[in-house]
Amino acid sequence: MDYPFRVAGSGGFHMLAQLPPALQNLHLPLRLKLWDGNELDLGSDPRVTIVVNDPSLVSDFTHPSLDLLGRAFVEGRLELEGSISEVIRVCDELTKALVDEDDDNLPVRTEHDKATDAASISYHYDLSNDFYRLWLDREMVYSCAYFKTGNETLDQAQQDKFHHLCRKLRLKPGEYLLDVGCGWGGLSRFAASEYGVKVFGITLSREQLALARERVRADGLQERVELQLLDYRDLPRDGRFDKVVSVGMFEHVGHANLELYAKCLFDAVKEGGLVMNHGITSRHTDGRPVGRGAGEFIDRYVFPNGELPHLSMITGFISEAGLEVVDVESLRLHYARTLEHWSSRLEEKLDLAAAMVPEQALRIFRLYLAGCAYAFSRGWINLHQILAVKSYPDGSHNLPLTRDDIYA
């Protein structure tokens, strides 16, 4: 055997007999530790240890999908020891060698109703404001930051993201901005205070809304920022808004509802107005989930009923609604860096986090943040800012001929 196994104890030999031959060609810095103390190294100098607490898991190592490993960790059937980013990398290498990519795993497109979306949003975003405050930036911005050089702090990069969005929208004092999925209100307050606009923001999270309104009052912005618990399907559709921004929201809409979502935004903005969609997009043109079980884990534990559209899918619906797409920018590597910040900040405060949320929730978020940082860095998923205009009846609009003003 040309493979540097190290086996301790007879139980380790029993486990070795059940492992697939493909493992013999791997050189992973991984140790498998059994419930009885026996150990098996799958390479020299292991930096990650999978502690198997449940004997029934041994047979599953012949096809260890990312969903299987993640689910077992969440349920406490196994433990993952080592740097969380290294854990994600090594587990990906393990599954890549033994599990098919699920190329035929086509998405199931189910129309979302309001109750389904409200429950899904509450599950994730109403977990604990204190928990999110622990690892987000000071404004609690829960979306991709914008790194001009890569050396910025998370706080600075999120402020730069706000500026980037507002400049793309060409916000002017006195305009009326719709913020769809306003979260804790960071962008709404920023746009009002820095660009002099009036803002109407909506969310389905009661916890987010309570804190967002508290922050609006603390900043003295009650006359310029109004935040409501409202579904996007209940937005006014009379073209009252000069500009519309939607950040990290359309991922929750569902493929079957994207046509309606785009039409709601079209109807909300006035002629000549701009619409900005900022959100995560699929690598696959048909919008199927990330393979080897990663997508299933996210749907099961992180964002129930979330569905990522491909760039072509969401821009298609935006265009069919009557908006003209005028600018698209990928911020994939920006989101990888953002998630690396979030993950490292959470890992530094695990003891505090454990007092705020249930153990299973903390296990989920540890895998989710580190796993998504890895996924964005590897190109499994993307992040696109899509700017569209509602042209006047004659086809004209007021946008500059170049993008130079955005970076001035």
Q: Which residues are catalytic?
A: 372
CA–CA distance, 212 with 248 (Å, rounded to integer): 17
User: Which of 355, 170, 182 shows the shortest CA–CA distance to 272?
Assistant: 170
Is 326 strand, coil or helix?
strand
User: Which of 255, 254, 277, 256 shows the shortest CA–CA distance to 265?
Assistant: 277
Is 162 strand, coil or helix?
helix
Buried b (16+ CB within 10 A) or exposed e, 295-333: bbbbeebbbebbbbbbbebbbbbbeebebebeeebebbb
Helix (H) / strand (E) element for 254: namely none
Strand partners, 49: 31, 81
Whether residue 224 contacts residue 192, with contact meaning beta carbons closer than 8 Å, is answered with yes
Is 243 strand, coil or helix?
strand
CA–CA distance, 254 with 160 (Å, rounded to integer): 29
User: Which of 67, 156, 75, 104 shows the shortest CA–CA distance to 371?
Assistant: 67
DSSP string of 10-53?
HHHHHHHHHS-GGGGG----EEEE-TTS-EEESSSS--EEEEE-
CA–CA distance, 372 with 376 (Å, rounded to integer): 6
Amino acid at 267: D
